[in-house]
A and B are shown apart, each in its own frame.
Chain A
Amino acid sequence: MRLPLWLRRRLPGYRPPPERWAHMELPYTGDDVVVVDCETSEFDKKKGQLLSLAAVVVSGRSIELSSALDLTVRSDAITHPDAVRVHYLRQEDRIYGVASADAIQQFLDFVGNRPICGFYIEYDRAILNRYTRELYGFELPNRFIEVSEIYVRQKRRYIPEVNLDLTFEGLARDLNVPVIDRHTALGDVVSTALMFIKLQRHSAS
């Protein structure tokens, strides 16, 4: 359950967004969601440096790829050897990217007040909040939707004791979603978006 805006504003530590992103606070009335994925230099909420960032609007059944945000961030962070093996973004691949401040600005303009959805979204939320807080002094006020949570809720509704494979690949297999270019930000975003669309359909019926 999400607290209403007037109450959230009164919580200690709540910092409203500056003028440019003031609209992000407003309640969202449409049906779109923005699916987001970040790749970082290491898997650590506090230290992981943003390397790439992708976001796409899902409107009903349609994934609006043509307007998708797909950014590589210019960063000199030393990539953790384990992480490189996951996302294949070497330091050399990142020289042509945009500055992280630029990436965050574009991202904030892109999402607006739409709900943000992802697979293990808590991690992406932490990373994005950390950058936004450091740069502009606020945290994302958007609603967040966790794909695996919808999945678990639906599965447990019918078989409460079921053993679930909650890995990305496990969900993709069970929901019959193609895994496209795994561990590129945009590829993961598209697969996640498909999972979300399919889960929406089940919960509606």
Chain B
Amino acid sequence: MSLQINLDQPPFSFLGEKELAWLKSRLDLVFFPAGEVILDVGQASPGIYILYKGVVEETGSDGQVFTQYGTEDMFDVRAVLESSCKHRFTAIEETLCYLLKAKDFIQLLNSSDDFSVYFRTDLGTQQSLVEQRGGEVSEFILAQVDSDTMRTPVYVTGQTTLVRTAGMMRDEKHDALLVRDGDRRGIVTGSDLLHAVLNDSLPKDTRVADVACFDLVTVEEGEYLFNALLKMTQHQIERVVVTRNQEIVGVLELMDMLSTFSTHSHIVAMRIEQARSLEDLIVAAGRLENLIANLSGQGVKVMAIMSLITTLNRRLIRKAFELLVPEKLNSQVCLLVLGSEGRGEQILKTDQDNAIIIRDDHVKDALMPSLQKLHQVLLDFGYPRCPGGVMFINDAWIHTAGDWRARVGKWLNNSSPEAMMNMAILMDAEPVAGNKELFDEVRSAWHQESLRSSIASSWFARPALQFETPLTLLGNIREDHGAIDIKKGGIFPLVHGVRALAFEHGLYETNTFDRIDRLSEQEVLSPDVAQGLKDSLVLFLRIRLRHQLEKAEKNPGLTQQLKVSELRSVDRSLLRHGLHRVKKFKQWLISHYHLENL
């Protein structure tokens, strides 16, 4: 008899052919009438149930519904691994389940590494297993910096003349040599020599140490090639030095990487850098979305996509700013990106969230025409207008540093939700162009010891609770037409809760992942909780990105609705775990900030 469920999906697809065949021969079929309790609290589970037909509900001891299971979902792995069940599982409809007996399940765990890793580890590892298997993984991107990809370094001493150095470059067929000068290590490239001799008219017998660059950009051996590429993009260089325990072991050349690199992230980056006109920039911006789809399709981790896109987006905006704002005004103004862009968590473009700090009020008149143009360019880049008006062209979001400080003070003395949201938006700000010192001045307004223990902290945290976690909706498609709002339900409460903690503890980080790490270091969050939150956020972002790319609508970045039934069953179950974590985190916030009565 053929099996009536599809086991060709994680975690079963991690099994070998033999093990899968064995598994299929070990399944029993069990029937439960509607209303019957399948597993109760404290009961030992006879094994893993895999749903064939019907709906099963998981409830806590207080009757609170955690989640519902549908076809091909399974439960309860924890009860099997931990020998007793923590929740109650009830058949809501007549239900048919395949049952894999506990001892057979354990035997499978022992016989397959991938399979057991999936079950015995936390959400994050489960997810990375799923991510790895999902789609075609470009080998290059997952390749690491090792002896195959880098070149052995060729050294010259600092005393060597430029002529001799050029000769060595030709003989060794290297365009870059490392320079040993006393304890210092530097690098000199062909173009350095060119500039020294032709532009700066240095004599040919100048010591190479005088033209070499001693500020080396390095990557550690074993890092992903992708990270090396990010560093080159950030520093606008074409090679990085590879180290092992701080010892130089090689040089990684962009040209070597490019010859194998199939996506075009660097090409997009070069286009941005070389753009001479706004039109060039707009073309480059238009390629970003394609790039994201490519990277995602090749199975690149969502975290890597995120940091690459953040780097590119910021350079895009900075370049536009540089092209439009007169250079003499540069030190008088600072452009901030806010919201997800500020946190570096934007992948597909959402709306424009930005603000301007100016040194004096009278700069504003000189500046306004260029800012109007900049706003238009951002629209052309594909950032839609912000419906909430959080844009520097509105008077509310362009002030002098002093006025900003005053506003922050006013917000923090006012418990209204609008004031708190404004504060939240500004708190994620990241200066991308202009004079960054202006921002430091403004930021000190909320980095004050006196604020941390004040009531402002708990006012600030409150919005994290404003949306219900959509847990009971899962598996049951009767409300919201089978969709959940992933932003309200998962991302916002998590991000805002972490933001509130960052506010309370005076963190400078804006990225949620960095904030969580820092909070964990300061022992505000336990390592388990910190890891769980990070895993959940990555998961939400990954599922949302996949969903948005599939929709292929205009401005896909604005879509927050997830159709639960369109998710793969494994994603559905990961999502359930993630939302569960968010719910727990919200409960923790309630007790931490004493929000019980709000």
Contacts and interface: CB of A to CB of B under 8 A. Distances in A.
Interface in B39-75: 53
A66 B27 CA distance: 5
Most buried by B among A65, A180, A193: A65
B29 A62 contact: yes
Contacts of A65: 1, 27-29
A176 interface: yes
A198 B95 CA distance: 11
A180 B32 CA distance: 18
B31 A61 contact: yes
Nearest to A181: B1
Contacts of B314: none
B25 interface: yes
Nearest to A188: B1
Interface in A150-185: 176, 178, 180-181, 184
Given A176-B94, A180-B1, A186-B1, A62 B33 contact: no
A198 B29 CA distance: 14
Contacts of A178: 4, 53, 96
Closest 3 A/B residue pairs (Cβ): A186-B1, A63-B29, A62-B30
Contact of A190 (B26, B29, B32, B104): B29
Nearest to A194: B31
Contact of A198 (B1, B26, B31, B99): B31
20 contacts: A61-B30, A61-B31, A62-B30, A62-B31, A62-B99, A63-B28, A63-B30, A63-B31, A65-B29, A66-B25, A180-B1, A180-B4, A187-B1, A193-B29, A194-B29, A194-B31, A194-B96, A197-B31, A198-B31, A198-B33
B32 A184 contact: no
B147 to A, nearest CB: 51
B546 to A, nearest CB: 32
B101 interface: yes
B138 to A, nearest CB: 41
A64 B31 CA distance: 11
B2 interface: yes
A176 B95 CA distance: 11
Interface string A18-32: 000000000000000
A64 B4 CA distance: 15
Most buried by B among A66, A186, A201: A66
A193 to B, nearest CB: 8
Contacts, number: 46
A124 interface: no
Interface string B85-105: 000000000101001010010
B51 to A, nearest CB: 13
Nearest to A70: B1
Interface residues of B, number: 18
The number of chain A residues touching the other chain, given as a range, is 20 to 34
Most buried by B among A61, A178, A201: A61
Contact of B101 (A63, A66, A193): A66
Given A62-B28, A197-B31, 16 more contacts: A61-B31, A63-B30, A63-B31, A65-B1, A65-B27, A65-B28, A65-B29, A66-B25, A66-B26, A66-B101, A180-B1, A180-B4, A186-B1, A190-B1, A190-B29, A198-B31
A66 B22 CA distance: 10
A186 B29 CA distance: 13
Most buried by A among B27, B31, B53: B31
A72 to B, nearest CB: 13
Nearest to A66: B26
Contacts of A194: 29, 31, 96
A62 B98 CA distance: 9
Contacts of B31: 61-63, 194, 197-198
Interface string B6-40: 00000000000000000001111111110000000
B188 to A, nearest CB: 71
A93 to B, nearest CB: 15
Contact of B32 (A61, A63, A187, A193): A61
A70 B27 CA distance: 14
A112 B96 CA distance: 28
Interface string A97-133: 0000000000000000000000000000000000000
Contacts of A70: 1
A62 B29 CA distance: 6
A186 B4 CA distance: 13
Contacts of A180: 1-2, 4
Contacts of B33: 198, 201
A184 B2 CA distance: 10
B1 A64 contact: no
A119 to B, nearest CB: 16
Contacts of A66: 25-28, 101, 104
A191 B597 CA distance: 55
Most buried by A among B2, B25, B28, B94: B28
A197 B96 CA distance: 11
Interface string A32-73: 000000000000000000000000000001111110001000
A198 B34 CA distance: 11
A184 B3 CA distance: 13
Contacts of B53: 178
Contacts of A190: 1, 29
A70 B2 CA distance: 12
A181 B4 CA distance: 9
B499 to A, nearest CB: 50
Contacts of B28: 62-66
A62 B31 CA distance: 6
Contacts of B32: 61
A181 B29 contact: no
A184 B101 CA distance: 25
Contact of A184 (B1, B4, B29, B99): B1
A189 to B, nearest CB: 8
A184 B99 CA distance: 22
A70 B96 CA distance: 21
A193 B25 CA distance: 18
Interface in B265-314: none
Contacts of B27: 65-66
A201 B1 CA distance: 25
A190 B52 CA distance: 14
A181 B30 contact: no
Contacts of A62: 28-31, 99
A60 to B, nearest CB: 9
Contacts of A193: 29
Nearest to B104: A66
Nearest to B25: A66
A181 B32 CA distance: 22
A186 B30 CA distance: 16
A63 B27 CA distance: 9
B2 to A, nearest CB: 6
A122 to B, nearest CB: 24
B2 A181 contact: yes
A19 B545 CA distance: 70
A50 to B, nearest CB: 18
Contacts of B26: 66
